[in-house]
Chain A
C-alpha cells in the first residue's frame, strides 16, 4: 500500500466522530440521517466526515440519490495493522544492529584494557 494511501487512513481515523461513525457501521449500513442522530451535528457536517471516510476507502456509499446508505469497508484497517508490524520490524532490525555495535565497542574497550 502506498504511503499516501495509508496516511489517508490515519488521517480519517484521527477523529473521534469518524471513529464513532465507523463503530456504528459495524452494526450494518446506515443513512446519513441515522449516522448524524447521535451527534449534535448538522447533516452537512456529518457528510463532510463521510467524504473523508470515503476518500480513505473506509466506507462505501450507495448510488440512490435520496437513500444513500453508508457501508463499512474495513480493508484499509488491515493495512494499518500491517504498517504497525513493519514499524516494529524496523526497530527490531535496528536494535539487533545496535546489539552488534555494542559488542564491537566492548571488544575494542577490552583490547585497550589489555
Chain B
C-alpha cells in the first residue's frame, strides 16, 4: 500500500480552461494505459465510494468513440460520451466529452510526462461551447470570478 498521499489539484488556467494535475510513482506507459484501457479504468475511475462502472467502451483512435456509464448503490446512473481526436501513446490524447442536456461539450487534452520515475498527468478541460465568443472576450474571466465570489461572501452576511 502507498503511504504517500499525492494531492490532486485543480487550477483555473484561464477563463475557459481548468486543469487537473496528479503525480504517480509509475512509468508513463502504464499510467497512459490506466487512462485508456477499459480493463484498468473500471477498477479506479469511480469517484466517491459506492459507484461502479458497468459501461466502459473505448475505441482508442482519432475519430473513435468512447462511452462511460456509472451506477451507484441507490441505482442512480451517470453517463458520459465523446470522441478521441488525437492519440499519441504514451505522451497524450485529446478527446471530446459530453454529459448530455444543456452541458457544453468540452475538449480535454491529457498529457503524461515522466521524470525520475514519477509520471505527472495533467488534463486540461476546455469549453467547446460558444468558442468564437470565448475568443472575443475582453475581460479576465478568472479575475472576475474571484471578485464575484468575494461579493457573494459579503452578500451572504447581509440579512
By a beta-carbon cutoff of 8 Å, the part of chain A in contact with chain B is: 3-4, 7-8, 10-11, 14-17, 19-20, 22-23, 26, 72, 74-75, 77-78, 80-81, 84-85, 87-103
Per-residue CB contact flags for chain B residues 20-46 toward chain A (1 = under 8 Å, else 0) read: 101011100010001000001001111
Whether the pair A100, B2 counts as a contact (CB closer than 8 A) is: yes
Chain A residues with CB under 8 Å of B147's CB are 23, 26
* Residues of B in contact with A (beta carbons under 8 Å apart): 1-2, 5-10, 12, 15, 18, 20, 22, 24-26, 30, 34, 40, 43-49, 101-104, 127, 129-130, 133-134, 136-139, 141, 144-145, 147-149, 151-152, 155-156
CB distance from A28 to the nearest CB of B (A): 11
In the complex, are the beta carbons of B8 and A99 less than 8 A apart? no
Q: Which residue of A lies closest to B22 (CB)?
A: A95
Are the CB atoms of A100 and B102 closer together than 8 Å? no
Give the residues in chain A near B144, CB-CB below 8 Å: 19, 22-23
- Checking B2, B26, B45, B104 against A10 with a beta-carbon cut-off of 8 angstroms, the contacting residue is B104
